[in-house]
Structure 1
Amino acid sequence: MNGLHDPGHGERRRTAPGERAIVLAAETVVLPGHCGPGWVGVEGGRIVATGIGRPPRPAEHELGVAVVVPGFVDLHVHGGGGAAYTTGDPAEARRALRFHRAHGTTTTLASLVTAGPAELRRAVDALTELVADGELAGVHLEGPWLAEARCGAHDPALLRDPDPAELDALLATGVVRMVTLAPERRGALDAIRRVAGAGALAAVGHTDAGYELVGSAIEAGVRVGTHLFNAMAPLHHREPGPAAALLGDPRVTVELVTDGLHVHPALWDLVLASAGPTRVAAVTDAMVAAGMPDGRYRLGGLDVRVREGVARLERRGSIAGSTATGDALLRAIVAAAPDRRSGLVRAVAMTAGTPAATLGLDVGVLEPGRRADLVVLSPELTVREVWRGGAPV
């Protein structure tokens, strides 16, 4: 393989005749089972080899003291950089996509918010081409089948019980990858079965349901907990609630907004101790104001005020998503860890490996055979370069 070999990180592979892998080497590369000096070989948009220490031949990209991690995978993001996925405008959706990609998110779902039937369908249709082109991994419907008592930054006037015809029509587009529902809504358990039956991920969120009902929802097909703790009934020693049911079932991936605001970092360790890093996906839940100055913005049809980077509804004061980016989540996870090395390993699992596995995608881990999505970070963990499909973006 033109001198490249793979000591302990996958089977030996060969480059195609007449072609040559591009090698990236850095002081810190986060590979399966390794966080330290290493290298990655890329060819044809794929990772073809990885190794520990110095590469067997000079690297085309000698990155020095940089940190190389897999591209981030975000299960839950509404927009950023002044653009949103929710408006029904494909050009605006592309701007939001480019903004987050520049911050290291190479794979993302586009999350929509509660809307009327016609508006929701328009928003889904506007994203179809981006999904077909592989730019988006799919669409996440966060609402409208949520609980009024835990509506958060969703318009309560538009919340409703799931209608089988509406849901089936949206699933039939082939682009809906995840649907968040409150299991206490009438017909919700049937809706969860429909979502799972269509090959999409059913998620529990924005719910006041009890422990037992959430357990029934998991049995019906729920496999994701939407932004754990946020917009759901709290943990109580006599009423365990949704969080306990979601954390206690090994089939469920739980989202955690690790911006330091949505969930106190002290609880991150509790969640990780309960579920393990392979079941915890860091998500931004970012809205249009991510990367933008403080001021007034919109989330769906609701007015939002951002002060000191915190987005809240102007009328009710509820937290309205976040202004975070993928690299900010990684830095926060590393900063909260006992040491930098364990923090990087944990952060890579939460921002890349776990969400990629939840979606069933061949990204999120730097190992041979995966799509060559990676992020080159400075020693301070700010983004220097982003590669997607083996090419810098």
Structure 2
Amino acid sequence: MRIDGRVVTPTGVVTGSVEVTGTRIGAVTPGEVADPQWIVPGFVDMHNHGGGGDTFTTGDPDAAVRAAAFHLRHGTTTLFASLVSSPFPLMRAATSAFAPLVDAGVLAGIHFEGPYLSTVRCGAQNPDFLRDPSEEELTALLTLGGGAVRMVTIAPERPGALDAIQFLVAHGVIAAVGHTDATYDQTLAAVDAGASVGTHVFNGMRPPHHREPGPVFALLGAASVVCEFVADGVHLHDGTLSFATTVTGADRAALVTDAMAAAGMPDGAYDLGGQEVTVSDRVARLTRDGAIAGSTLTMDAALRQAVGAGIPIVDACRMAATTPARAIGLGETVGSLQPGWRADLAILDADLRVVRVMRAGSWVS
């Protein structure tokens, strides 16, 4: 199968075609084409709580399948199911429910955003469920998941956090820093312990100050850390997004949605981790205090926002696909239009809106 257009690769735009053989990309070939459509790698979303009216946060496998299908139609061909801070029985139940979906390829893994987070910077996380890291809990979840648990977000200032980070990394799980009131030095200690992702950097963190730089500067400056950015124009001003990516470069910046069930749905009341969320004019906030509560974002919209903020489309696609794929250990399989890699791609029109999506060589209906 040959698909013609402007092909976005990690090193530049190739006007020509993508050859698909079975489930893999056979070649990217320069040539004259009649259709100026964009052909971009399928998006990789490493932080996603749901969409299309369905959520990952309750551990319902049927809802998870529907939420993944919603985001697939928006070009996300690889995604983590992210849970919010929860009681341990729910974490166990979700791990059991989602592990078969990871095995089947519907999900790329499970991300526990909490419950080992800061009460001061909990944001939309339910404060009733926050607690110190527990190696006993983590051992049980990793054993139960059989490789399905792929990332855990931790506040490094909590007692036992550094030990938990070392434990996760030793077991092949990504340790992320987020929802934290940590100092600059505490954050760097987490990085030294093996933390390699900054969870929605700037949001849910002690704000940077020129005399107390805190976690934001530590994560942006750490060469081993991939920084997540929620590019919806709400979580981050476009100027902040543009500036931050000049510090990290596209190879350390990952666009994420942090989407909740309300993505793609009308304004109204929704639930997130047992808390009511009010969505108005695409912005999701906790009803009780107005804190930003996830997003209604999709990855194609995040790409448009990044390009609109002045980020070149090649870099924006690296941030939406190539870099997050590498961050979650899939960097030699997905996230780039290269020969031999899985044929995951999205066709976009001149306005960068999704026209068609392919996953593993098959068009998504």
- Which one scores higher on RCO, CA 8 angstroms, separation ≥ 6? 2
Task: Please state if 1:25 is matched with 2:4.
Answer: yes
Kept in 1, the 8 Å contact 2:57–2:83? The answer is yes
Kept in 1, the 8 Å contact 2:10–2:315? The answer is no
CA distance in 2, matches of 1:382, 1:270: 25
CA distance in 2, matches of 1:180, 1:31: 30
| Correspondence 1:14-53 to 2 at 5 A | 22-26=1-5, 28-53=6-31
Q: Which of 312, 326, 329 is 1:343 aligned to? A: 312
TM-score, normalising length: structure 1:
0.90
- The equivalent of 1:276 in structure 2 is 249
Per-residue Cα deviation, 1:35-89 (whole angstroms, up to 9, x for no partner): 14221111120111112223xxxxxxx8812110000000100000000011121
Q: CA deviation at 1:32?
A: 3.4
Q: CA deviation at 1:360?
A: 2.0
- The equivalent of 1:95 in structure 2 is 66
Per-residue Cα deviation, 1:234-266 (whole angstroms, up to 9, x for no partner): 110110100111111110000000101101110
Structure 1's 67 and 161: CA in aligned 2 closer, same or farther, altered over 3 A? same
> Structure 1: where are the runs of 5+ without partners?
1-21, 55-61
Q: CA deviation at 1:228?
A: 0.3
Q: CA deviation at 1:213?
A: 0.5
| Correspondence 1:1-393 to 2 at 5 A | 22-26=1-5, 28-54=6-32, 64-172=35-143, 173=145, 174-337=147-310, 343-361=312-330, 362-393=333-364
**Amino acid aligned to 2:294:** G
Instruction: Specify the SS of the correspondent of 2:71.
Output: helix
Aligned residues: 360
**Amino acid aligned to 1:39:** S
CA distance in 1, matches of 2:292, 2:223: 29
Structure 1's 135 and 159: CA in aligned 2 closer, same or farther, altered over 3 A? same
Deviating beyond 6 angstroms after TM superposition, the runs of 4 or more aligned structure 1 residues are none
Q: CA deviation at 1:31?
A: 2.0
Instruction: Specify the SS of the correspondent of 1:222.
Output: coil
> Structure 2: where are the runs of 5+ without partners?
none
CA distance in 2, matches of 1:313, 1:248: 31
CA distance in 1, matches of 2:17, 2:350: 17
Percent of paired sites with the same residue? 52
Whose radius of gyration is greater, 1 or 2? 1
Kept in 1, the 8 Å contact 2:231–2:255? The answer is yes
Kept in 2, the 8 Å contact 1:333–1:346? The answer is no
CA distance in 2, matches of 1:272, 1:32: 16
> Could you say what the CA RMSD is over the residues aligned between the two structures, in angstroms?
1.1
Per-residue Cα deviation, 1:157-207 (whole angstroms, up to 9, x for no partner): 110001111111112222111100001111111000111011010000000
